[in-house]
Amino acid sequence: GQQLNQSPQSMFIQEGEDVSMNCTSSSIFNTWLWYKQDPGEGPVLLIALYKAGELTSNGRLTAQFGITRKDSFLNISASIPSDVGIYFCAGQKTSGSRLTFGEGTQLTVNP
């Protein structure tokens, strides 16, 4: 099935650095979601975006819903070791409908 184009595929950074990752799609989504998945666990919702152009923060995390509704980015500021994990973007066409996931970004934070 369709997947979103998520980049980068992996990142290796030093503790304290800022991180940015993004997702793009050839089609429009009306909701963008960002999840974090730790090994052996299910994804945990970080941020949900519902309006084009919307910029939303959750602690050190900031995400934006692209104005064209075909992209979104996630920023993590001042990274810490517990930020390690896989980050997935997901797009949703209509309320309550299926999610389409990106390929994931594996984040490694070196202390």
* Contacts with another protein, residue ranges (CB under 8 A): 1, 3, 31, 33, 35, 40-45, 48, 50, 88, 90, 92, 95-96, 98-99, 101-104
* Cα–Cα distance measured from residue 13 to residue 79, given in angstroms and rounded to the nearest whole number: 8
**Residue 16: CB minimum distance to another protein, A:** 27
**Residue 95: CB minimum distance to another protein, A:** 5
**Residue 11: CB minimum distance to another protein, A:** 15
- What is the signed CA dihedral for 92, 93, 95, 99, rounded to 10 degrees? -30
